[in-house]
Structure formats: structure tokens, C-alpha cells
Amino acid sequence: TVLADQRDGYLMITLNRPDRLNAFNETMHLALREQLNRASAASEIRAVLLTGAGRAFCAGQDLSDRDMRGGAEAPDLGVTLETLYNPLVRQIRALKKPVICAVNGVAAGAGANLALACDIVFAAQSARFIQAFSKIGLVPDSGGTWLLPRLIGEARAKALSMTGEPLQAETAASWGLIWKAVADEDLMAESGKLAAQLAAGATKGLALTKQLIQEAADQPLDQHLDAERDAQREAGRSDDYREGVTAFLEKRPARFSGA
Ligand code: LHQ
């Protein structure tokens, strides 16, 4: 259900249930979790690239697992979120390495919000983001109601969530929902290039940057300045800081080890 391929210092993870538009079942959740754990633990993996197989990125929860025809009792969705989706979002946000997402096609429901939880999002021009939840009576989950207003403001967040209207990749980029929309045929090359570039970067500094930007949403400037001070102190003790300054003075490209 998930393919993983280590290359150029990064782990490429591909959601792989293409006949179901890579919709999530429990097996795919656990396989994705395992690959993210691997990326977190392996020092030779210094970035992650997440994408989908086939024509879609991810259609969210597999609704055929949720068939209530014939009067079956509605499952407790709180349990599904607590045990599967929330740990996934927390895992991506806590991973001390950049997570790049290449949205190769439609991203719907939790699939859209999974993409948005990643650090840097590329989307193919033909891709669409759909907050499909309202069409089945649900609320945007997997961090959607937290991330959307922060990324695009309350007006657009509410309208997207309440209408379930598809948002084209280029509009998503112009609204600041994602980093870039790129031509379909360039998506994997461009996102792979950035993944390799970041994997060769100052991993500790990038991890601290990710953490600071995420924390900023919850704290006042005064407190955040203290957090920046502490993070900079830590970054300033890394081998990569020493190497970066040395390479600058020697007018050569830096060779960052990630340490
Ligand atoms: C699917 C799905 C799918 C199963 C396409 N499931 N088969 C969290 C907690 C717990 C429970 C509930 O949910 C959540 C979070 C959520 O993610 S809720 C939102 C769930 N997702 C959706 O509501 C999206 C449903 N899918 C769609 O609206 C469309 O398929 C989109 C707009 C994604 C793509 O449309 P098309 O390009 O027209 O493709 P299609 O609809 O023809 O789909 C192709 C096949 O994939 C089709 O199967 P078939 O056997 O007819 O070829 C679909 O049934 C299947 N598929 N999404 N989520």
C-alpha cells in the first residue's frame, strides 16, 4: 500500500492504492507510519518526499470501509482520528527533517490535509484540493480547521470547507495554501530536486527552523524571541554552522554533514 525508495539522501514515499485513488485504509496508515519512523531514525535519510501513485494523490478515508447501508451502526470516528490520522499529522509535524509533498493529482478530504501538513507542498497543475468532508456531513480533520485559516485566512477556509469546492493547484499557490504549482510533467523532477537539495542542507538548522515556525502560531512575540535565541544557540553549536561559515570565507560550496 506504500512504496519507499531511498535516493540522494531522501526517502521517497509513494501512497500506492491507485485503484482507490490512494484512499486510506488501516493498512496504508500503518505502512506510512512505519516509513516515517524509518525516515526519522535513519541518519542517512535527511528529507522525505511524499507523493501518490497513479492519477490521484489521496482521496482521504476509504469510504468503502465505512459502509453503513443495511443499518450498520456508525463507527466512532473519534477513535479513527485518535489512532490513525492524528498520529500521522503529529508525526509529520514533529519529524526533524523536511517533509516535501508532491501532489500529483486530486487530494481530497484527509488526503488534502495530509498534504498541507507537510512542510513544502508542490502540486501538479492538474491537481485539485478538495475539502470533501462537508459532502458527507463531516468536519475537516487531520488538522484542516487549524491549518486552513492560518494558511489562507478565515474567509477562504470557511468557504472551501463548507462548499467542498475543488481548488485548482495554481489558485492554491496564489492563495499561499501551497508552495508552488508546476507543470504536470515537471512535478517529480522539481520536487525531487528540492528534496535532494534539502537533504544536503544543514539538517539541524532546518529542523529547528521547522519547529520555530510551527510554534510561532501559538505564542506571543516576546516568548518567541526567547525560543529563537535558544534555537540559534543550538544551531550555532552544530558542525554545519562551522562548515557554512568556513565555506563562505573560502568562497566554496558548503558540504553539510547534518551534524
Ligand atoms: C474511493 C474514494 C474514497 C473509496 C475515490 N474511498 N473509494 C476521517 C476519519 C474517519 C472516517 C471518515 O473520514 C475521515 C476523513 C476523510 O477523509 S472524509 C473524506 C473522504 N473522501 C471523500 O469524501 C472523497 C471521495 N471521493 C471523491 O469525491 C472523488 O472520488 C474524487 C473527487 C476524489 C475524484 O473524483 P474522480 O476523479 O471523478 O474519480 P472517481 O470518483 O471516479 O473515483 C475513482 C475510483 O476511486 C472510484 O471507484 P470505481 O470502482 O468506481 O472506479 C471511486 O469509488 C474510488 N474512490 N475516492 N475516499
Q: Is residue 259 part of a domain?
A: no
> Do both 166 and 209 map to the same domain?
no
> Do both 131 and 220 map to the same domain?
no
3-state secondary structure of 56: strand
Measured in Å, residue 61 CA sits from the centre of ligand 1 at: 8
pLDDT in tens, 105-132: 999 999 999 999 999 999 999 999 999 9
Mean pLDDT for each 10-residue chunk of the chain (259 residues)? 97 98 98 98 98 98 93 94 98 98 99 99 99 98 98 98 98 98 98 98 98 96 98 98 98 98
> Do both 64 and 159 map to the same domain?
yes
> Do both 83 and 171 map to the same domain?
yes
> Do both 51 and 149 map to the same domain?
yes
- Predicted local confidence at residue 214, as pLDDT: 98
- Domain count across the chain: 2
In angstroms, the CA 104 to CA 121 distance is: 11
Task: Name the residue range of residue 164's domain.
Answer: 2-199
Q: Is residue 224 part of a domain?
A: yes
> Do both 193 and 209 map to the same domain?
no
Give yes or no for a contact between 203 and 48, defined as CB atoms under 8 angstroms apart.
Answer: no
- Predicted local confidence at residue 188, as pLDDT: 98
- Predicted local confidence at residue 123, as pLDDT: 99
> Do both 132 and 23 map to the same domain?
yes
Task: Output the residue whose Cα is nearest ligand 1's atom 27.
Answer: 59
By CB atoms closer than 10 A (0-12, 13-18, 19+), residue 70 is exposed
Measured in Å, residue 178 CA sits from the centre of ligand 1 at: 22
Q: What does each C-alpha distance from 229 to 94, 151, 182 come to in angstroms? A: 20, 26, 36
When the pLDDT of each residue in the chain is averaged and rounded to a whole number, the result is 98
pLDDT in tens, 97-108: 999 999 999 999
Q: Is residue 258 part of a domain?
A: no
In angstroms, the CA 89 to CA 82 distance is: 11
In angstroms, the CA 121 to CA 55 distance is: 17
In angstroms, the CA 51 to CA 53 distance is: 7
Task: Output the residue whose Cα is nearest ligand 1's atom 37.
Answer: 106
Specify the CATH number for the domain of residue 219.
Answer: 1.10.12
What is the DSSP secondary structure assignment for residue 12, as one 8-state letter? E
> Do both 25 and 113 map to the same domain?
yes
- Predicted local confidence at residue 195, as pLDDT: 98
What is the enclosing helix (H) or strand (E) of 37?
helix 26-41
Whether ligand 1 lies within 6 angstroms of the CB of 216 is answered as no
By CB atoms closer than 10 A (0-12, 13-18, 19+), residue 5 is exposed
Give yes or no for a contact between 54 and 22, defined as CB atoms under 8 angstroms apart.
Answer: yes
